[in-house]
């Protein structure tokens, strides 16, 4: 079975607050799909790309440590870079924020090199309802940990989704590790 790796407390509560504050300090953009197409039936969220936010360099240092350990312990993939910015996604109940079933590998030059996806839960589980990250590594759906600061790492080719947020707001941090094509 293909593994899904959870790293409990990959980010502390204080670090989750710092990432959320960084995202709040920058203008957000309506989420798009690979290829910059927009389809609110598939995805409805607001995004902040951290490369555009001053003072966010420390976030990448933490990401590298977490992904390196998960890859060593669980996946053993040939990873070479983080060629895309980390993003903070806001799924708000006012917009019924969600992201339907998809994989993170696509036709774009960077999207086709994605090997691992990492999603860090920034919100407390009691601050929203719905918004569950679900991953389908086989015929059975696995729910990601809703604990604040937990990182869920999985192969980017796995189908996954975020169910509609029905109350409050869910914030998450997402990044992709890149490498040569699978053989």
Phi/psi at 4 (5° precision): -120, 130
- pLDDT band, residue 33 (cuts 50/70/90): low
**Which carries the bigger pLDDT value, residue 3 or residue 56?**
56
Task: Look at residue 39 in the predicted model and tell me its pLDDT.
Answer: 62
Question: Tens digit of pLDDT for each residue in 65-110?
Answer: 999 999 999 999 999 999 999 999 999 999 999 999 999 998 889 9
CB-based contacts of 38, cutoff 8 Å, min separation 6: 30, 31, 32
Task: Look at residue 35 in the predicted model and tell me its pLDDT.
Answer: 47
Task: Look at residue 32 in the predicted model and tell me its pLDDT.
Answer: 65
Task: Look at residue 120 in the predicted model and tell me its pLDDT.
Answer: 98
CATH numbers and ranges of domains, the chain = 5-178 (2.60.120.620)
């Amino acid at each position: 079975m293909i593994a899904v790796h959870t790293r409990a407390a990959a980010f502390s509560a204080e670090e989750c607050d710092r990432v959320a504050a960084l995202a709040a300090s920058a203008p957000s953009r309506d989420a798009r799909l690979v290829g910059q197409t927009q389809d609110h039936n598939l995805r409805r969220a607001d995004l902040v790309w951290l490369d555009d936010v001053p003072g966010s360099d420390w976030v990448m240092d933490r990401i590298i440590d977490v992904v390196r350990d998960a890859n060593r312990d669980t996946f053993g993939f040939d990873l070479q870079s983080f060629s895309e910015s980390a993003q903070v996604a806001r799924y708000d109940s006012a917009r019924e924020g969600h992201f339907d079933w998809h994989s993170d590998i696509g036709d774009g030059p960077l999207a086709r090199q994605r090997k691992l996806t990492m999603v860090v839960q920034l919100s407390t589980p009691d601050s929203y309802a719905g918004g569950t990250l679900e991953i389908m590594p086989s015929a059975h759906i696995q729910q990601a940990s809703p604990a604040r600061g937990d990182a869920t790492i999985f192969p980017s080719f796995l189908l996954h989704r975020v169910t509609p947020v029905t109350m409050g707001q869910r914030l998450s941090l997402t990044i992709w590790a890149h490498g040569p094509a699978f053989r």
